């Protein structure tokens, strides 16, 4: 029976899962990492961390002896990483070569961007359909069809203010707040709510906070932390906050429609899987309600489903499907 290692490397951490062909998890571990796992991450350093973590995960399987070569039981290593989200084919080839150099020649290596594994997390393995990822600093729609064509929309990152992500919603909240305070915009509960969230009393304090961040990562985290404040104010009936959420879901719809249109998914009479993933898409939230409403009207053939596992497990499921597309996959998850 084949044994697969799925690895997922992102700014949130590095996780490896060891699965057998029946999809049973034999071992799963999270590893410390100092890397940013973005387009600027050194590929050799990234490869070294991934291979070290995968080897450790292989050793942690039940029945593997301390002196035994852990790679002997592994057939495939499938890696999903945010490092490849923006680099294109050249970056993917360089990353693949760097990892492959550190592996036994007999071990098959598969490399994918994080959106591909997010799609597999919903479908249970098949790389067919579309995924909408909405996170702290970026939002991205990604799709794939059986003839191996793929398409992507948005996902450029916080500097480009990917619409719909927590950072984008937070930035728009700050803009609405400033307009309200100096008379250029409508009054809004966001003023008092943001001040309370950040522990400031005056506009001068807010400006100091905005200019105090020493790095892009710090700034993104601080601004993104305001997205729940917008949700709270919208739920309390604030029209400005409500408009921000509706604008965000409208932009997310445009990203999905862009991908579906380029892959022809919107022209098929058959429904296609649309995986909704990411920390902004929580069950029962007003944001999720608005998103589901616009998706129902804007892409009526989309069959909304949700992740069934984490990125490491999804990478292993993707590998199992690629090795044998006839293997059964579990039923998709239609509720959070």
Q: Where are the domains of the chain?
A: 3-124+308-323, 128-307
Given this model, what pLDDT does residue 335 score?
A: 67
CATH of domain 3-124+308-323: 3.30.420.40
Q: Comparing 3-124+308-323 with 128-307, is the CATH topology the same?
A: yes
Given this model, what pLDDT does residue 332 score?
A: 87
**CA-CA distance, 194 to 171, in Å (whole number)?**
12
Given this model, what pLDDT does residue 67 score?
A: 73
pTM of the model: 0.93
CATH of 128-307, one of 3.40.50.2300, 3.30.710.10, 3.30.420.40, 3.40.50.300: 3.30.420.40
pLDDT (tens digit per residue) in 241-273: 999 999 999 999 999 999 999 999 988 888 999
pLDDT average per 10 residues of sequence, the chain (336 residues) = 92 95 95 90 96 95 81 95 89 95 96 96 97 95 96 92 95 97 96 97 96 92 97 97 98 98 91 95 91 96 95 97 90 76
Given this model, what pLDDT does residue 268 score?
A: 83
Query: What sign does the dihedral 146-150-154-159 (CA atoms) show?
Result: positive
């Amino acid at each position: 029976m084949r044994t697969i290692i799925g690895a997922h490397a992102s700014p949130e951490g590095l996780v490896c899962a060891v699965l057998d062909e029946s999809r049973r998890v034999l071992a799963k571990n999270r590893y410390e990492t100092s890397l940013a796992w973005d387009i600027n991450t050194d590929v050799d350093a990234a490869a070294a961390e991934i291979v070290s973590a995968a080897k450790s995960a292989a050793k942690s399987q039940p029945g593997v002896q301390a002196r035994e070569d852990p790679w002997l039981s592994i057939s495939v290593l499938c890696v999903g990483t945010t490092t490849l989200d923006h680099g294109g084919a050249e970056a993917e080839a360089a990353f693949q070569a760097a990892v492959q150099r550190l592996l036994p020649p007999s071990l098959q290596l598969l490399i994918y961007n994080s959106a591909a594994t997010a799609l597999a997390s919903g479908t249970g393995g098949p790389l067919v359909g579309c995924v909408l990822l909405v996170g702290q600093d970026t939002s991205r729609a990604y799709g794939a069809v059986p003839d191996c064509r793929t398409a992507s929309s948005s996902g450029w990152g916080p500097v480009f203010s990917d619409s719909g992500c927590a950072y984008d919603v937070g930035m728009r909240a700050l803009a609405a707040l400033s307009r309200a305070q100096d008379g250029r915009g409508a009054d809004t509960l966001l003023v008092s709510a943001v001040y309370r969230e950040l522990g400031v009393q005056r506009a001068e304090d807010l400006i100091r906070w905005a200019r105090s961040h020493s790095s892009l990562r710090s700034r993104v985290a601080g601004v993104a932390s305001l997205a729940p404040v917008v949700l709270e104010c919208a739920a309390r009936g604030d029209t400005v906050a409500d408009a921000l959420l509706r604008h965000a879901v409208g932009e997310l719809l445009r990203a999905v429609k862009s991908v579906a249109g380029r892959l022809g998914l919107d022209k098929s009479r058959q429904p296609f899987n649309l995986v909704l993933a990411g920390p902004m898409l929580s069950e029962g939230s007003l944001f999720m309600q608005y998103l589901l409403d616009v998706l129902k009207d804007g892409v009526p053939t989309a069959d909304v489903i949700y992740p069934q596992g984490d990125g490491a497990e999804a990478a292993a499921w993707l590998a199992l499907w690629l090795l044998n597309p006839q293997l059964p996959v579990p039923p998709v998850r239609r509720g959070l």
